[in-house]
Structure 1
Amino acid sequence: MLTIPSLHAALAMAVAVAMFTAFASNRFRVEIISLMTIGAIALLLYLFPLPGTNPKDGLALAFGGFGHTALITICALMVMGRGLVVTGALEPAARALGSIWRINNSLGLLVTLLLAMFASMVVNDTPVLVLLIPIMVSLAHGGAMPASKTLIPLNAAILIGGMATTIGTSTNLLVVSIAADLGMAELPIFHFTPIVLMAAVICLPYIWLVMPRLLPDNSPEAGHEPRKFIATMRVGTESSWLEQRIDEFREKLPEGFSFLREPQTLQPGQRLAAFATADDLREAGRKLGAVTAPRWLIKRLSQDSAKAGEDLVEAEMAISADSRLVGRTLQTAGIEGVAVLGVAQAPSRGFAAPREMSAEARLAEGDILLTMGRESSLQEFAQDQALLMLDGARPLPRRRKALIAVAIMGAAVLLASLGIMPIAITSLAGAVAMFVTGCVHFDKVGRALSAKVIVLVAASIAIGRLIGDSGAATWMGASLALGMQYLIPPVVLALIMLFVTLLTNFASNATAAAVGTPIAFALAEQLGLQVEPLVLAVLFGCNLCYATPIAYQTNMLIMAEGDYKFNDYMKTGIPLVVLMIVSLSVILSITYGL
């Protein structure tokens, strides 16, 4: 028989509903809602303490999430993920991906989905997507599928991969931590990976073949071509193509790259006039063993960067009419402290004769310089030379640290997966190692950590504890059990996943995890079932956030790039949610013999 909840349980549910409603309304920032929730819990428990507690205990419950192991682990994983990105450790995989797309679009999409899914099992979802978004946009510009047809499927594959391990997402860590606090044995990293992979096999054909057909082609009809620069490439001695004729390797260079004066063979010390985008110049230089600035200058800038503890960055700068560079060449301009990698010439004005396409031609108003240096040096250079910096500065990967970053991440995951040390310790040690080795600079750690995630997780832990300690979870579990006691276990698991999925798609997956995990424990007791499959149903449901753009931060990341509307997520996401719920509930039941 259904009973009336206690005052504290009713207040706990009211706070949770208010938090969900505020998130779903999208009228306020996540950080504000999270902090207000923590404040409301602290105030309520101070004025109306839980039975057997005092007001100070309520404050500890409200603010305890900031010191919780799960939050520390999440922050450490963010730092390690940042290390992989800023060192360019994942770039070789990205280059290989581009070559596959050039063979066949459908094959390229399948390989991309698989790569993204497996990468997100051990690297947080967000850095994986952040790395792949520009690759997909660049491939779309090169004639592959429009980005609007690939980014939602890519995001779905990443979310499925993140679901497959305890460290795949912050939500998984949160569910496992809350379950451990409630008495369940801590789950190893790959404990439920086979279950998710079996469901992925069922759902991947839909993501790969059907999703792109349901999405619109939002490619701009008249988009601007990426800016191309004239550059002088200096060939070194490390190229594997030395002494070879240009015809033998031309097809291996980027499609958008061209020589202004084509050489017969490639020789060490050769200076090649090239015309390409910044990305294509960088890729061609890697393959040719060439650089677009004097090697001594690049070496000096790298040494200055390491000494100052600043990253090298690339920036595009426009020459204004009153710049002293107008009428001079790069060789006679007396430029110091930065390197000019290329020049995008402005069209000739009036009756002026066209300029020679050469990086050594005289500079003119409106020319765009592709520059490299420390950010402070670039800003000083722009100010001194009356230049306008365009689109900010792009940090260059610290590639010499890439293997170190991979080794640190690999060691942290391996030690945790083998059960030698808990993930909280290995991830924290890995984050410290990233700082010590210089993979991540300490003053840049703010770019790795997300304040929104930190306060959201802290608020979620607080509200989860409140719902558990107040008896609200027990009451909701008993209420759900009344309607589930005559249902078979697969249906029970499916309903739990559906309940949590609705919360995660219209509110926050972290909050849904904090609410759903205690309910799973209560339901297990009420129905006499094993608690672990019910907890996994909650964990899986929290990751089924495909149906709305507000369900997860990666959904928002792709919204602008794909020019998506709310309905695009619902049209593609709802069928995937149904497929995943049915697949996972059946597989869970078989795995646990329910």
Structure 2
Amino acid sequence: MSLDAWIALSVACAVFPLMALTRLGPDMVLMGALVVLLSLGVIDAEQALGGFSNSGLFTVAFLYILVASLRDTGGIDLIIRHVLGRPSGERHALSRLVWPVTAVSGLLNNTPVVATFIPAVISWGRRFSIAPQLLLMPLSFASILGGTVTLMGTSTNLVVHSLMQERFPDLHLGLFEIAWVGVPMALVGVVYLLVVTPRLLSRRPGSEEAFANLREFTIEMEVDPQGPLVDRTVEEAGLRHLSGLFLVEIERGGNVVSVVGPGERLKGGDHLVFAGTTEGAVELQQMRGLRPSRLGESHLEKEFRERRLVEAVVSDQCQFIGQKIRDGHFRTLYGAAVLAVCRGGRRVAGSLGQIRLQPSDVLLLEARPAFIERHRQSQDFLLISQVNGQARPAFDRALRAWAILATVVVLASTGLMSMMNAAMLGATAALLSGCVSVRSARRGMDTQVLLTIAASFGLGAALQTSGAADVVARGLLSVVGDSPWALLVGTYCVVALLTSLVTNNAAAVITFPIAMAGAESLGVNPLPYVVVVMFAASASFLTPIGYQTNLMVMGPGGYRVQDYLKLGGPLNLLTAVVVLVLTPFFWPF
């Protein structure tokens, strides 16, 4: 083996533990690897920067803009509102959640899908007394399963597909072609979640229960004189059994009704005074027929105008990990005060100032409105959600955003345009039609994911051109023999193991040249190995760090590492069996 091959292999071996065991971001680790390989002459500048001009990378970027358009227009909220509905029990609630999430994730990147669903699912579960543990992990897993159904369902599929086209120009996979394996895999996975989840996941309080009644607000609302609540009783208006809210009194024409009975009829212009939590206030503002009080400055307006209550999930990249909140000057750096910390679904003992932050901690923050915009894409936080409401989406453009996405799917699936050109056209249409602003589109791009993908190409090129991939492939063949099926199993196991420890894109791109070298050595069709790399890289159910959506739901759901092993371990085995049995059937060796 040449010196360049040894260097490339050593750098690749160093990359995985650095990403798994340190707080360095995967983009920084892989960019550092590129610098080392370029400095030592293992790859040239063109190979090092080749990933930044890859069509798969640009396709992912354009799709991020389409997802941002659906988020800003409330396109995903439209599905949530019409699909979740009123469940009759826990299994019915799971069914109403996982099926649509799986379907939507086949067309949209699953990370923003999960980010959109988390606050809605928590509120929905609270309304029907369903523990968050039974909903949030299945939400993450269903999004992962759905992402494997099409090429555009996850960035990993697009990246591996572009690698295949570069190495084998004659090979081609249609947009929905991998659905031959993806749909059975998703069906088996969803049925498993519906049957097993209520039995395996214990019901512990999640973050929303830990924060319940942390502060109680006086909330004033006015009955819209032109709204549907006029002349209806309190009971008929649905104001008697609101979650986290209690109707204290009604102010009407200068008089106060202090004892409000269920038969009290509402009049236009009535001022209703509630006591309740911020979550209850959000539900109250979304009720048709009520509007914020306009007589003077209400307590609600003062609280909402001057400050915001924000829930933020701490990332493993946060610079305050391991530090005390007080010693780290959290408020000075972020302009936000920590009101409470939730870890694993429970309050953390001791004073707030003495708590040392850990990854996936959920913080309840008091911050000014600019905090959300400033830190929404920050690496320090995985998820930031405004507890007391968000800017109302442009719902009138939601159907327009969905129509643009549908057009992209049709153009790409029929072959009229390449995936990149269709996504580029769709992103342009979304911007020109007002479905998303330039600022929001820029903010919607996950630069860490894009940098990770681009840098991974350089490392993969180093393994291929230096001959290291061929050497590793020959070593793998000496273990599995000359059996194409054994090589397929070995490839799946290696990629699935790596994706549980590091990012799925990095695991796929770095192992791709090794798998292809093995297929070429056996003289067999490389297509089944391409498909297996796609599915194995996405099948990350074992750990919270293996996939970003898993870490996003860990804190809000109050999960522990063993919860992922209990529910995700058997799911990993089931999906592996489905993929390994069906792949050679549809793409023979």
TM-score for both structures, normalised by structure 1: 0.75
* 2:582 alignment partner, one of 570, 576, 587: 587
**Matching residue's letter, 2:562:** N
Q: 285-294 or 196-205: which moved more?
A: 285-294
Aligned mates of 2:453, 2:161 — CA distance in 1 = 13
Q: For residue 564 of structure 1, give the secondary structure of its aligned residue in structure 2.
A: coil
* 2:72 alignment partner, one of 86, 101, 105: 86
Aligned to 1:547: 542
Change in Cα spacing, 1:585 to 1:279, as seen in structure 2 (3 Å) is same
Change in Cα spacing, 1:164 to 1:392, as seen in structure 2 (3 Å) is closer
Aligned to 1:419: 415
Answer yes or no: is the 8 Å Cα contact 2:539–2:572 preserved in 1.
Answer: yes
Answer yes or no: is the 8 Å Cα contact 2:499–2:537 preserved in 1.
Answer: yes
Instruction: Give the superposition deviation at 1:283.
Output: 5.0
Q: Do structure 1's residue 115 and structure 2's residue 104 form an aligned pair?
A: no
Answer yes or no: is the 8 Å Cα contact 2:308–2:369 preserved in 1.
Answer: no
* 2:222 alignment partner, one of 212, 233, 239: 233
Q: Do structure 1's residue 65 and structure 2's residue 51 form an aligned pair?
A: yes
Q: For residue 403 of structure 1, give the secondary structure of its aligned residue in structure 2.
A: helix
**Matching residue's letter, 1:165:** T
Q: Do structure 1's residue 197 and structure 2's residue 183 form an aligned pair?
A: yes
Q: Do structure 1's residue 218 and structure 2's residue 204 form an aligned pair?
A: yes
Change in Cα spacing, 1:469 to 1:402, as seen in structure 2 (3 Å) is same
Aligned mates of 2:118, 2:159 — CA distance in 1 = 27
Aligned mates of 1:98, 1:7 — CA distance in 2 = 58
Aligned mates of 1:70, 1:212 — CA distance in 2 = 39
- Alpha-carbon displacement from aligned partner over 1:171-230 (angstroms, at most 9, x marks no partner): 111100001101153322111113111122223232223244333433067642375542
Instruction: Give the superposition deviation at 1:564.
Output: 2.8
Q: Do structure 1's residue 133 and structure 2's residue 129 form an aligned pair?
A: no
* 1:574 alignment partner, one of 569, 576, 584: 569
Q: For residue 232 of structure 1, give the secondary structure of its aligned residue in structure 2.
A: strand
Aligned to 1:27: 23
**Matching residue's letter, 2:89:** N
Instruction: Give the superposition deviation at 1:168.
Output: 0.9
Q: 213-222 or 271-280: which moved more?
A: 271-280
Q: For residue 195 of structure 1, give the secondary structure of its aligned residue in structure 2.
A: helix
**Matching residue's letter, 2:509:** A
Answer yes or no: is the 8 Å Cα contact 2:181–2:583 preserved in 1.
Answer: yes
Q: For residue 230 of structure 1, give the secondary structure of its aligned residue in structure 2.
A: strand
Q: Do structure 1's residue 166 and structure 2's residue 151 form an aligned pair?
A: yes
Aligned to 1:310: none
Aligned mates of 1:191, 1:391 — CA distance in 2 = 39
Change in Cα spacing, 1:409 to 1:523, as seen in structure 2 (3 Å) is same
Aligned mates of 1:238, 1:428 — CA distance in 2 = 43
Q: For residue 549 of structure 1, give the secondary structure of its aligned residue in structure 2.
A: coil
Answer yes or no: is the 8 Å Cα contact 2:308–2:388 preserved in 1.
Answer: no
Q: Do structure 1's residue 532 and structure 2's residue 527 form an aligned pair?
A: yes
Q: For residue 291 of structure 1, give the secondary structure of its aligned residue in structure 2.
A: strand
Answer yes or no: is the 8 Å Cα contact 1:116–1:161 preserved in 2.
Answer: yes
Q: Do structure 1's residue 291 and structure 2's residue 287 form an aligned pair?
A: no
Q: Do structure 1's residue 6 and structure 2's residue 5 form an aligned pair?
A: no
Aligned mates of 1:431, 1:253 — CA distance in 2 = 44
Q: 559-568 or 228-237: which moved more?
A: 228-237
Aligned to 1:521: 516
Instruction: Give the superposition deviation at 1:464.
Output: 1.5
Q: Do structure 1's residue 144 and structure 2's residue 129 form an aligned pair?
A: yes
Answer yes or no: is the 8 Å Cα contact 1:117–1:162 preserved in 2.
Answer: yes
Structure 1's unaligned 5+ residue stretches are 50-57, 298-312, 319-372, 380-389
**Matching residue's letter, 2:288:** L
Aligned to 2:501: 506
- Alpha-carbon displacement from aligned partner over 1:79-136 (angstroms, at most 9, x marks no partner): 22122122222223223455333x2221111221111111111110111100111123
Q: For residue 288 of structure 1, give the secondary structure of its aligned residue in structure 2.
A: coil
**Matching residue's letter, 2:466:** S
- Alpha-carbon displacement from aligned partner over 1:125-181 (angstroms, at most 9, x marks no partner): 111100111123223433533223332222111111111111111111110000110
Change in Cα spacing, 1:181 to 1:556, as seen in structure 2 (3 Å) is same
Answer yes or no: is the 8 Å Cα contact 1:235–1:271 preserved in 2.
Answer: no
**Matching residue's letter, 1:225:** N
**Matching residue's letter, 1:397:** R
* 2:138 alignment partner, one of 132, 153, 168: 153
Aligned mates of 1:437, 1:36 — CA distance in 2 = 40
Change in Cα spacing, 1:560 to 1:467, as seen in structure 2 (3 Å) is same
Q: For residue 500 of structure 2, give the secondary structure of its aligned residue in structure 1.
A: helix
- Alpha-carbon displacement from aligned partner over 1:285-318 (angstroms, at most 9, x marks no partner): 55534432569x9xxxxxxxxxxxxxxx976469
Structure 2's unaligned 5+ residue stretches are 251-259, 298-303, 310-367, 375-384
Answer yes or no: is the 8 Å Cα contact 1:89–1:399 preserved in 2.
Answer: no
Aligned to 2:399: 403
RMSD of aligned C-alpha atoms? 3.5
- Alpha-carbon displacement from aligned partner over 1:372-416 (angstroms, at most 9, x marks no partner): x9869x99xxxxxxxxxx979854132243233222222222222
Instruction: Give the superposition deviation at 1:531.
Output: 1.6
Number of aligned residue pairs: give it: 499
Q: For residue 435 of structure 2, give the secondary structure of its aligned residue in structure 1.
A: coil
**Matching residue's letter, 2:551:** M
Q: 213-222 or 62-71: which moved more?
A: 213-222
Change in Cα spacing, 1:236 to 1:424, as seen in structure 2 (3 Å) is farther
Q: 423-432 or 212-221: which moved more?
A: 212-221
**Correspondence 1:192-341 to 2 at 5 A:** 192-219=178-205, 223-225=211-213, 227-235=216-224, 237=226, 239=228, 250=238, 255=243, 260-261=249-250, 283=283, 288-292=288-292, 316=307
Aligned mates of 1:281, 1:414 — CA distance in 2 = 42
Instruction: Give the superposition deviation at 1:479.
Output: 2.5
Answer yes or no: is the 8 Å Cα contact 1:229–1:278 preserved in 2.
Answer: no
Q: For residue 160 of structure 2, give the secondary structure of its aligned residue in structure 1.
A: helix
Aligned mates of 1:222, 1:527 — CA distance in 2 = 57
Question: Looking at CA atoms only, which structure, 1 or 2, has the larger radius of gyration?
Answer: 1
Instruction: Give the superposition deviation at 1:273.
Output: 5.4
Aligned mates of 1:405, 1:438 — CA distance in 2 = 9
Aligned mates of 1:515, 1:242 — CA distance in 2 = 64
Answer yes or no: is the 8 Å Cα contact 2:278–2:387 preserved in 1.
Answer: no
Aligned to 1:460: 456
**Matching residue's letter, 1:147:** P
Aligned mates of 2:391, 2:446 — CA distance in 1 = 22
Aligned to 2:382: none
Identity percentage of aligned residues: 27
Aligned mates of 1:395, 1:566 — CA distance in 2 = 32
Q: For residue 84 of structure 1, give the secondary structure of its aligned residue in structure 2.
A: helix
Answer yes or no: is the 8 Å Cα contact 2:150–2:178 preserved in 1.
Answer: yes
Q: For residue 167 of structure 1, give the secondary structure of its aligned residue in structure 2.
A: helix
**Matching residue's letter, 2:119:** P
Aligned mates of 1:442, 1:493 — CA distance in 2 = 44
Change in Cα spacing, 1:579 to 1:477, as seen in structure 2 (3 Å) is same
Instruction: Give the superposition deviation at 1:77.
Output: 1.4
**Matching residue's letter, 1:119:** V
Aligned to 2:338: none
Instruction: Give the superposition deviation at 1:251.
Output: 8.6
Aligned mates of 1:317, 1:89 — CA distance in 2 = 25
Instruction: Give the superposition deviation at 1:63.
Output: 1.8
Change in Cα spacing, 1:214 to 1:94, as seen in structure 2 (3 Å) is same
Change in Cα spacing, 1:466 to 1:274, as seen in structure 2 (3 Å) is same
Aligned mates of 1:494, 1:315 — CA distance in 2 = 58
